[in-house]
Amino acid sequence: MLRIKAKIEDLTYNPTMCKNLNKYSLNEFYSGKSFQDAAFRVQPEENEYAISWWVSPKRTRSYPRARVYDTYNHKNRVTIIPLVKDEGKDGERDYLQWDTLSLMSLLQVNVIIAPYKNAEKNDNYDNKITNQKFDFEYIKEKFEELQNYQSDALHWNLKQASELGEVAELSKKYYYDKISSKTGVKMHSKKHFEKRMDKITEEADRFKKMSRNLAEEAQNREALTLQPKESTRTDKCVITIQNHLGGEYYFTSDEVMRSEDKVFLIEKKHTRDVFPSLADIKNGLVRMMLFKNLSTVKAEGDELEAVPVLGITGDELEGYCSNSENIEDNLGDGISDKKIDDINSLMQEANENDFTVIISQNNDSVEDKLYSNIM
């Protein structure tokens, strides 16, 4: 398995596929009305903010990176993430990981870590809740604080990480005293929750260290596991990215190819249909933001040039296309005008930001030929 060490000094990217975000008043934001949208705009006084929110702190749910992507053509970017989401004893419980804050910091996105305050019983289970709502008063307090904050997203996010005690206490109060009592739903172990919160809130450095260790373990697991939606040809690689302050962040690449002086970092998206959803594509574009901004890359003692590639396969797709001059387009029939528009938009973004896209039918020999053409 290839292990890569990389550095990122700055991040520049020009998104072209962002949604046009609806604009809400501050009152609509603070009341929670604006949260009917996955991302939206508010404008207190002179500065406009683009705001996204995560359903769960777990990155694999509800395409949270796609929501963040849609705010990326705005100068002031904010994302709201729950510290913990407990669905009840019959559901899952997810906790915020430090590498999520790290990723948002690298992307220059300010994070507000907030507690869930209200929920409804899921009638399909004895002990599961649904329709969870944030503590909007808490979000209001933090957003007003953010508007007066003079430093960058990294330092704001570090500040949030060091002030998690209040969010932890509110989360415990809301889940165990308020939501459980109101819905009659049993939550996951309170004792385990308290232990986890103690570790997270003891101090920022302890939080970072624990979560980084968990992130690195998850990275290693992911590098050994093919997810059901992935269609990959080569071994994965693990990538450790260091920022200008020396912080280290852990990622994986779905596939990797290496020539004498280049390493091709490939993020894969697969669909049983013709072409993945735009939300899934945007999740992949967030990886392209990182991979195209790597300043130095080393593997096995050699310094290499990183070449970011977004590879897309579809079970129902016939043929292939790419923005690489070394691949002649050969798409088959049966693709809707909407999907063609999506493909053209993706190619435009790839050309604008200097990365390669390869869209192909799900066939190993066809893919092998296409990828050999860009080596």
The structure's pTM equals 0.88
Question: What is the C-alpha separation between 334 and 316, in angstroms, rounded?
Answer: 9
What pLDDT is recorded for position 330? 95
Per-residue pLDDT tens for 37-95? 999 999 998 899 999 999 999 877 788 999 999 999 999 999 999 999 999 999 999 99
Tens of pLDDT, residues 10-26: 889 999 999 999 999 99
Q: What is the pLDDT of residue 41?
A: 98
pLDDT-derived band at 202 (thresholds 50, 70, 90) equals low
- Which of 42-46, 197-201, 365-369 shows the lowest mean pLDDT across its residues? 197-201
Would the pLDDT of 291 be above 60?
yes
Residue 230 has pLDDT above 50, yes or no: no
